[in-house]
């Protein structure tokens, strides 16, 4: 069997996993996690549920003994009140994107933060580095907590000062208004805004002058695969980290929590890249 061919072995022992969100039609989690289950010879299957009524969906997980779920927009915060236990890191971030059904007890985790850190740490150390996180929304919160946990010196850079200042204060980090940001003195820059995402791909959240050789630039946007920011960063001599790496690593964290096995990260990455290249 080709390494990325999904081998569906469904029987009475198969464990069911799913992503809960609205919309979920474009989610790449099913293709990525089914490939991982298959590669690991794990008897699980992963599907997608478009969920409008979250409380009933959670009741359904309990009733059907679904083994684990990913949670995506718009349910990452609301799901927290419906679970039995929340991991302290997810509580701090204020978002759960992973549910583990531990013998009937539903536990909530956040894999976006460790996933983003794993993607970044593949390319650069974070401890004692000066890191600018652009944005102050949900994705920024996950990134920012990961950066401070890993000993990075964080600055929140945001368009709206009040929202940016609030997050910076919570994390005891610095704040810089987006209009004042020059990039000078920063080792790492992470874009957590949607600027540059399809269809408006000819935009970047900061000017070219903010990028300098030796800097590591990460973008959480993965459609397009290379955003205008990453192309400009590459041209400026920066190390770049694309959004696919974060998506794959957060999925790998979920896989490991659910199965107890080591995630086949390279296969997961190849599966996602193939799916994105094939997408219309």
Does position 192 bind ligand ATR by CB under 6 A? yes
Does position 137 bind ligand ATR by CB under 6 A? yes
x-marked contacts with ligand ATR along 22-61 as a string, rule CB under 6 A: ----------------------------------------
The rounded Cα 245 to chain-centroid distance in angstroms is 9
Give the Cα-Cα-Cα angle 57, 250, 42 (nearest 5 degrees).
Answer: 75
Give the Cα-Cα-Cα angle 246, 81, 60 (nearest 5 degrees).
Answer: 85
- Of 125 and 138, nearer to ligand ATR (C-beta) is 138
Q: How far apart (Å, rounded) are the C-alpha atoms in residues 54 and 41?
A: 31
Half-sphere exposure of 257 (CA within 13 A, CB side): 26
DSSP code at position 187: S
**Candidate list 82, 136, 238, 267; residue touching ligand ATR; CB under 6 A:** 136
224-263 residues near ligand ATR, rule: CB under 6 A: none
**Candidate list 43, 160, 169, 182; residue touching ligand ATR; CB under 6 A:** 160
Does position 270 bind ligand ATR by CB under 6 A? no
| Residue 76 among the catalytic residues | yes
Beta strands in 9-163 (DSSP E): 15-21, 44-50, 68-71, 85-86, 98-102, 105-109, 130-134, 153-158
Q: How far apart (Å, rounded) are the C-alpha atoms in residues 218 and 212?
A: 14
Distance in Å, CB of 269 to ligand ATR, minimum: 22
**Candidate list 97, 155, 193, 216; residue touching ligand ATR; CB under 6 A:** 193
Does position 194 bind ligand ATR by CB under 6 A? yes
Q: How far apart (Å, rounded) are the C-alpha atoms in residues 203 and 260?
A: 41
Residue in the shown chain whose Cβ atom is closest to ligand ATR:
137
Kindly give the pairing relationship between strand 98-102 and strand 105-109: antiparallel
Q: Give the number of residues in contact with ligand ATR, rule: CB under 6 A.
A: 16
Does position 70 bind ligand ATR by CB under 6 A? no
Note the residues at the interface with ligand ATR (CB under 6 A): 135-140, 158-160, 163, 178, 192-195, 205
């Amino acid at each position: 069997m080709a390494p990325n061919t999904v081998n569906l072995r469904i029987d009475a022992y198969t464990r069911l996993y799913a992503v809960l969100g609205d919309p979920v039609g474009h989610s790449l989690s099913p293709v990525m996690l089914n490939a991982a289950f298959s590669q690991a010879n794990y008897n699980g299957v992963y599907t997608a549920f478009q969920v409008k009524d979250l409380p009933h969906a959670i009741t359904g997980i309990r009733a059907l003994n679904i083994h684990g779920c990913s949670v995506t927009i718009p349910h990452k915060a609301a799901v927290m009140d419906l679970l039995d236990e929340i991991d302290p890191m997810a509580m701090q971030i204020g978002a759960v994107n992973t549910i583990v059904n531990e013998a009937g007890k539903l536990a909530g985790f956040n894999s976006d933060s460790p996933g983003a850190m794993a993607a970044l740490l593949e390319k650069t150390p974070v401890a004692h580095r000066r890191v600018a996180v652009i944005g102050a929304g949900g994705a920024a919160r996950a990134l920012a907590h990961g950066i401070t946990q890993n000993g990075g010196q964080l600055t929140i850079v945001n368009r709206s000062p009040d929202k940016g200042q609030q997050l910076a204060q919570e994390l005891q980090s610095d704040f810089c208004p987006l209009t004042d940001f020059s990039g000078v003195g920063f080792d790492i820059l992470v874009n957590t805004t949607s600027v540059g995402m399809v269809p408006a791909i000819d935009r970047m959240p900061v000017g070219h002058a903010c990028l300098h050789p030796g800097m590591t630039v990460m973008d959480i946007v993965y459609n397009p695969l290379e955003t205008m920011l990453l192309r400009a960063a590459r041209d400026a001599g920066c190390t770049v980290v694309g959004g696919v790496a974060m998506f794959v690593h957060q999925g790998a964290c979920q896989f490991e929590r659910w199965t107890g096995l080591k995630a086949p990260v390279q296969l997961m990455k190849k599966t996602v890249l193939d799916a994105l290249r094939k997408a219309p």
